[in-house]
Amino acid sequence: MPWCADCAPDPLPVVGGCPTCAAPAIDGVRPDPVACPLRDVVEATVAAHDYRGVVATAVRTAKLAGRTAAYPGLAAQLVEAVQARHWPRPDVVTGVPVPAARRRRRGFDHADLLARGVAAGLGVPRRGLLLADPRAVDRGATGRSSGPVAAMHPRRPAPPGVLLVDDVVTTGATVRAAAAGLRAGGAATVWVAAVARAGGHGGGDGSGPIRPPG
């Protein structure tokens, strides 16, 4: 598990979300699917958790502090979430690519680590299908909603069905760029699996009470 036994009851599910991007319901009102930013590039999205509390702590610690030991547990949770949806079996699993400079700085590619675990759990190949534009810069949720994000270019041809993996979906802008790159590379159907979903169709910072990891 990516968190201790004391924290295990804390993760929150995404309730009543948009089937395309997994944006959660707000005050019991489901998001309008017509307003979904991924509706023309993604078939469906599953998010294992709401991005709050212990989940936010685990994801941030794993990615920013290099606690890579958390990724097998997070990947296992993603496998369970995908299998519960009974989607068609993907031909391949791939991660949202990390720009090379950021990968060098952190020493690893978090989405690729997740993708490898998910691929192993589902029994399908893992392939690096995309390259992130080297001019990419880090932006917060506000920046993503108000300006362009890095383009994702096909690294090699994509098979018809691709499962795209990332840790968090916030505005959907990065996932949209990745899904568009996969479709440009030949994918006919793109499903998305994320550890957590933050915000709604209008984005959001995914903030919530943060509990130190146990």
By the 8 A CB rule, do 96 and 133 touch? no
Provide the residue range defining the domain that includes 79: 37-197
The answer on pLDDT for 185 being more than 50 is: yes
Tens digit of pLDDT for each residue in 163-182?
A: 999 999 988 989 999 999 99
| Domain-located, residue 24 | no
| 211 domain-assigned | no
Residue 55 maps to a domain? yes
User: Does the residue 31 lie in any domain?
Assistant: no
Residue 50's nearest CA partner among 210, 206, 181 is 206
Q: Residue 32 has what pLDDT?
A: 87
In a domain, 210, yes or no: no
Query: Residue 86: inside a domain, yes or no?
Result: yes
What burial letters (b/e) apply to 72-105, b meaning 16+ CB within 10 Å?
A: bebbbbbbebbeeeebeebbbbbbbbbbeeeeee
Q: What is the pLDDT of residue 26?
A: 78
Provide the pLDDT confidence category of residue 77 given band limits of 50, 70 and 90.
Answer: very high
Any domain includes 14? no
- Which residue has better confidence, 91 or 204? 91
Residue 199's pLDDT is what? 78
100 confidence band (pLDDT: 50, 70, 90): confident
Please tell me the total count of domains within the chain: 1
Indicate the pTM of the whole model.
Answer: 0.83
In-domain check, residue 11: no
* 144 pLDDT above the threshold of 90: no
Q: What are phi and psi of 92, to 5 degrees?
A: -160, 155
Phi, psi of 126 (to 5 degrees): -110, 130
- DSSP 8-state symbol, 116: H
Residue 167: give its domain's CATH number: 3.40.50
Across-strand partners of 162?
92, 190
11 falls in which pLDDT band (50, 70, 90)?
low
Question: Does the pLDDT at position 56 exceed 70?
Answer: yes
